[in-house]
Amino acid sequence: MPRFFVQPEQINSDTAVINGPDVKHISRVLRMETGNNLTLLDGRGNVYLAQILEINKQEVHCRILEQQEATSEPTVKVTLVQGLPKGDKMETIIQKCTELGVSSIIPLAAARSIVKLDAKKAAERVQRWQRVAVEAAKQCRRSGIPEVYMLSSWDEILQQIPPDALVLMPWEGERTKSLREVLQTRPMAPGQVYIFIGPEGGFEEEEVERVKEKGFYPVTLGSRILRTETAGPAALTMVLYQFGELG
């Protein structure tokens, strides 16, 4: 059955409205008609079975038939804090991490980030990255869409981390404490996990010290150095697998 994301405010009690590019896709590509059923998702994990009532050039009006159980969202909420990489690597990272089950992504203006964005360019990039997350969520049939936040500084990110969150920083300078060791010492799955990944060139020691001062964990992912676009999905996979969200 076709699936479409809508904004939560587009669902009102027992009715819903679809607008934007999906209208053309429904009417001209899928050639759906009044009376056809489809699945609506509000990006927050809510799933609805709906029936088309009316199709016009701007909107598709639907009747909500029932709210269904969402089964594709991890119970462990993982936020990826990604040091801003160069080129289109961020899009690849967002796409793959969305498929795996990340809950949110925060681009970090790290010391060794080669790309420097002003406020306008950062806002434009975030809009594009959010669209990448939406398309990836559609492709892998998730019921939620990861939120891509604005490009942030260290201070902004460290201040927002909940006190009970598990915070991990894969870092090539760590030699003894492995990600596996840290995860296996947890008696139960945490509600939230933050994973910090450096840009090309990794994190500077001063940045690592800031994390240590907060009581968080620099960890090693093993003897091989991973590219920035590989490290995030790899660490996310390990975390979700350990807590029973994959496999």
Helix (H), strand (E), coil (C) string for the chain: CCEEECCHHHEECCEEEEECHHHHHHHHHCCCCCCCEEEEECEECCEEEEEEEEECCCEEEEEEEEEECCCCCCCCEEEEEEECCCCCHHHHHHHHHHHHCCCEEEEECCCCCCCCCCHHHHHHHHHHHHHHHHHHHHHCCCCECCEECCCECHHHHHHHCCCCCEEEEECCCCCCCEHHHHHHCCCCCCCEEEEEECCCCCCCHHHHHHHHHCCCEEEECCCCCCCHHHHHHHHHHHHHHHCCCCC
How much of the chain, in percent, has pLDDT values that exceed 70? Answer: 100
pLDDT the model gives residue 93: 98
Is 156 a domain residue?
yes
Residue 200 lies in a domain: yes
pLDDT of 187 above 80: no
In a domain, 199, yes or no: yes
Q: Same domain, yes or no, for 99 and 211?
A: yes
Question: Residue 195: its pLDDT value, please?
Answer: 97
Residue 141: per-residue pLDDT = 87
Instruction: Determine the average pLDDT of the residues in 214-226.
Output: 90
Task: Please check whether residues 120 and 47 belong to one and the same domain.
Answer: no
Within a domain: residue 247? no
Task: Tell me: do 51 and 82 sit in the same domain.
Answer: no
Average model confidence (pLDDT) across the chain: 92
Output the pTM of the full model.
0.87
Residue 48 sits in the same domain as residue 93:
no
- pLDDT of 184 above 80: yes
The number of distinct structural domains making up the chain is: 2
Q: Domain of 115: which CATH number?
A: 3.40.1280.10
- The mean pLDDT of 159-172, rounded to a whole number, is 93
- The dihedral built from the CA positions of residue 39, 43, 47 and 49, taken in this order, carries a sign that is negative
- Burial of residue 237 (number of CB atoms within 10 Å: 0-12, 13-18, 19+): middle
Evaluated on CA atoms 209, 213, 215, 216, the torsion sign reads negative
Examine the domain organization and report whether 121 and 229 are in the same domain. yes
Are 20 and 102 found together in one domain?
no
| Shared-domain flag, residues 227 and 200 | yes
Model pLDDT, residue 143: 87
**pLDDT value of residue 73:** 85
Inside any domain, residue 224 = yes
Do residue 130 and residue 26 come from a single domain? no
pLDDT band at 46 (very low <50, low <70, confident <90, very high): confident
| 56 & 160 share domain | no
Q: What is the pLDDT of residue 189?
A: 81
What is the domain range of residue 21? 3-68
pLDDT band at 69 (very low <50, low <70, confident <90, very high): confident
Give the mean pLDDT of 72-97: 95
pLDDT band of 238, cuts 50, 70, 90: very high
- Judge if 125 and 238 occupy the same domain: yes
Q: pLDDT value at position 71?
A: 73
Domain end point (choices 15, 37, 68)? 68
Q: For residues 130 and 148, what is the distance between their CA atoms, to the nearest angstrom?
A: 6
| 62 and 93 housed in the same domain | no
CATH number assigned to the domain comprising residue 23? 2.40.240.20
For residue 82, being part of any structural domain is answered with yes
Same domain, residue pair 62 and 91 = no
- Give the end of a domain, one of 68, 87, 113: 68
Say yes or no to pLDDT of 223 above 90.
Answer: no
